Structure 1
């Protein structure tokens, strides 16, 4: 396996290379805990280890969905956030695409990140204490919501944030119904066991454009085709309140939403405290704190 050196440590997941390299086999587990350490059963943990994702229907009830939807609407319309760097807007329309570091803006979402339904599962999957690497609300309005191209989150977090290994898990909670036709998230089940390096250096301040449309750190069409042929593609569908847990390295993406039906979600990334960020592996400087939290790696309680 190809390895590079970063500081005094070997980089097991090199990326942003000068030329294409062969896919690498993941060197770390997906599930670090066991059935005794949290609410997932052993059967559910085994399925998550194999597929790289788990869907939990009815994770939030209707009242909770309404409460967080009201927070979503409040934040998207807040005049004090109009020029805030935490707010990412669509290139063409200027519509709100994402809002980052949400717990600092919403007490309700802050409490949600510490909810035992979330925290106990994150700790179980990652085998111990966790902190929030990133939080955001994603908006995909009807008719004009743009998607996210195929990518592995870990490739970006490793290259640009300095996350050492893929010991992180994301939870996406739907605040609107997810249909097969309104830009729902697509995942390649089992692709999390393969690491795909990308080609090309990371430009300075890449985050200013990549959060609108990712163009650096994406896999080649050949790699996408190879993974799709090996693993197929599943799509996350379900009613508002459903939760999708997915591994940091799973290949995923979403298409544009040209239907009248909006799609919005709360997105939280839990990282093991034993996997705290170091200097970026393939970027000139770390991304801002609101995108990748590094001021404190204190465990969530």
Structure 2
């Protein structure tokens, strides 16, 4: 297993100060940067804020079938017992589903959608592969929230991702409105790495995917970063798209509305940023949570 140098130490016993990221946000340069679908103002915005929102990027009918597959899965007892499916604490509703692109041609095709992949190539400046695929679902009245966190902090600690060179593309399968627990992001937070306190327990993912306690930044850091540029919570219809940088701090509230919220996430990682030995975890997480180097190939 690859052993990378650790430029982002985290999960120690005591709180450590945040510090600046060690690599650029926009990795492409020159002609490669200007050849893609994103204009200079959009690239500047992504560099500044750590995310881009595209209201109604897809037509609702383009994503209806994906929501239908999730509903069908929720009714299938065999599927609910798969390790890729994370149920809520009461095992009554699906909270997350991972790696559906590996057993669904429709989901696999969507991960290769040129309208998304071309933007990812433009930002990351290389071929990419799917590091992680997931659907996060919140049922009406009872869907649980997600604590503030940086995805990169988890992927670095528990998967061995060496650098900040990954992007999440989140497609809204239902309307995201102010009441059903939309994703909240702190603009500009991707420019700082916030070390987290506490050692990673053995097989931490079995509990953290239901309720995260390890890998949660100190509240003082959240308050400081949110105090600079506030908090954004993009809302829009089904088919809207959110691209956000792997180190952007984000969270979401519990869904107390009657309306369900389901979002699809593709995590694109650069082929030049392949995983190695976890930096702060006893063992790597399972393949359905983090694609390992030997299974990457040349990317796309």
Residue 265 (structure 2) aligns with: 267
Taking the aligned partners of 1:121 and 1:229, their CA distance within structure 2 comes to: 30
Could you say what the CA RMSD is over the residues aligned between the two structures, in angstroms? 1.4
Residue 152 (structure 1) aligns with: 150
Contact 2:98 2:134 in 1 (8 A): yes
Write the mapping of 1:211-290 to structure 2, written as runs, cut at 5 A. Answer: 211-290=209-288
2:50 is equivalent to residue 52 of structure 1? yes
Write the mapping of 1:49-128 to structure 2, written as runs, cut at 5 A. Answer: 49-128=47-126
Taking the aligned partners of 1:59 and 1:72, their CA distance within structure 2 comes to: 21
2:3 is equivalent to residue 11 of structure 1? no
Q: Which runs of 5+ in 1 are unaligned?
A: 1-6
Residue 295 (structure 2) aligns with: 296
Residue 93 (structure 1) shift: 4.5
Taking the aligned partners of 1:282 and 1:252, their CA distance within structure 2 comes to: 21
Taking the aligned partners of 1:75 and 1:156, their CA distance within structure 2 comes to: 27
Residue 4 (structure 1) aligns with: none
SS at match of 2:295: coil
Residue 268 (structure 1) shift: 0.6
Alignment equivalent of 1:27, drawn from 8, 22, 25? 22
Taking the aligned partners of 1:281 and 1:114, their CA distance within structure 2 comes to: 30
Residue 37 (structure 1) shift: 3.3
Q: Which runs of 5+ in 2 are unaligned?
A: none
Residue 92 (structure 1) shift: 2.8
Contact 1:186 1:234 in 2 (8 A): yes
Residue 72 (structure 1) shift: 1.8
Taking the aligned partners of 1:190 and 1:95, their CA distance within structure 2 comes to: 34
Contact 2:5 2:162 in 1 (8 A): no
SS at match of 1:111: helix
Contact 1:35 1:41 in 2 (8 A): no
Of the structure 1 ranges 209-218 and 73-82, higher mean CA displacement relative to structure 2 is found in 73-82
Residue 120 (structure 1) shift: 1.0
Taking the aligned partners of 1:269 and 1:228, their CA distance within structure 2 comes to: 24
Contact 2:33 2:123 in 1 (8 A): no
> What number of residue pairs does the alignment pair up?
295
Runs of 4+ residues deviating >6 angstroms: none
TM-score, with length taken from structure 1? 0.95
Q: Deviations over 1:75-98 (max 9, x none)?
A: 222332121100001013431101
